[in-house]
Amino acid sequence: MIQFGPAGSCDRFYAEGYKSSEQAPAWIAAQGLDAYEYAAGHGVTIREATARKIGDAARNAGVAVSIHAPYYINCGNPEKLENNIGYLMSAARAVSWMGGRRVIFHPGSPGDQPRDEALRVALDAISQARTRLDDAGLQDIILCPESMGRPSLLGTLEDVLFICRSVERTLPTIDFAHLHAASGGGMKSADDFEAIITRSIDALGLERMRHFHAHFSRIAYTAKGEKCHMTFADADYGPKFAHLVPVLIKYGLKPTIICESRGTQADDALIMKRIFHEAGGEVSAR
């Protein structure tokens, strides 16, 4: 079944007096949501005991947990190979302690290299990380490279699909806001969303894409791409979730959709769940 939830903890979580990530799964479930992306963008500093408490809380609440690995990962930098693998390993261990499987990460930047060379370097780094995860007994962990919001970065949809075709036990994180920004506002209709989905299905197959990972929010952008994430209340900004809904239903897709709205992640995730349900999509009863 499709799952909805926030990236990290939203403003209302703290306004209601909650402080700890250990409290997040029960709070998320009480809102009517069933997914939680733990935010480790600034580094994986969580201790094992704390991570296991989050995992226990998530299991009790019926909430699926993923983790966003550090933003400073740059798999395209050959001089930082060991560092990048280490960051992915740390995120994988943490999400495993939490009872989750998905590690979301940004592929990186070409820097001064030709783009195709940087992508080759990134692919090698991700392949080596996959092997080391398997050797460490973390075979169940799924690496999920994310589509990015600036064309200058590694992380176009084609980059992400290429990585996922090339490395086993990976899934794409399709960030529709990022794709909207990178294309200069190109996600304007259901047809635009369907083009993304059909390209992904053609590359990876329907069964593999059935439970892909997704990020969604509205977004501001410039000529260079992503500027900042917005909220659903910022109605002048796209993309619109209602355009994605018929595509998900048409192809029978059941992704985990994580909302990255700025400060209103849980509230906007609930809006997405309602829109999906009202369109005839199957959602959890809570």
Average of per-residue pLDDT across 247-262: 98
Mean pLDDT rounded to a whole number for the chain? 97
Mean pLDDT of 194-203: 98
What does the pLDDT read at residue 230?
98
Q: Is residue 220 scored above 80 in pLDDT?
A: yes
Q: What is the DSSP string of 6-67?
A: EBS--HHHHHTT---GGGHHHHHHHHT--EEEEE-TT-----HHHHHHHHHHHHHHT-EEEE
pLDDT of 283 reads: 86
Indicate the CATH number for domain 3-278. Answer: 3.20.20.150
Q: What is the pLDDT of residue 164?
A: 98
Looking at 86-90, 143-147, 230-234, 281-285, which range is the least confident one?
281-285
pLDDT mean over 198-219? 98
Q: Which helix or strand (DSSP H or E) is residue 128 part of?
A: helix 115-135
Cβ atoms < 10 Å from Cβ of 201 = 17
Residue given tokens 């794709």 in the structure block:
179
Instruction: Provide the pLDDT confidence category of residue 286 given band limits of 50, 70 and 90.
Output: confident
Average pLDDT over residues 129-153: 97
* Rounded mean pLDDT, 83-93: 98
- The per-residue pLDDT for 284 is 83
> What tokens does 219 get?
């977004």
Tens of pLDDT along 38-85? Answer: 999 999 999 999 999 999 999 999 999 999 999 999 999 999 999 999
What is the structure's pLDDT at 1? 87
User: Max Cα separation, the chain?
Assistant: 51
SS3 187: coil
Q: What is the pLDDT of residues 162-193, one digit of tens each?
A: 999 999 999 999 999 999 999 999 999 999 99
- Looking at residue 79, its pLDDT comes to 95
pLDDT at residue number 191 = 98
User: Which of the four pLDDT bands, split at 50, 70 and 90, describes residue 285?
Assistant: confident
Among 39, 59, 41, 148, CA closest to 100: 59
Average pLDDT over residues 199-228: 98
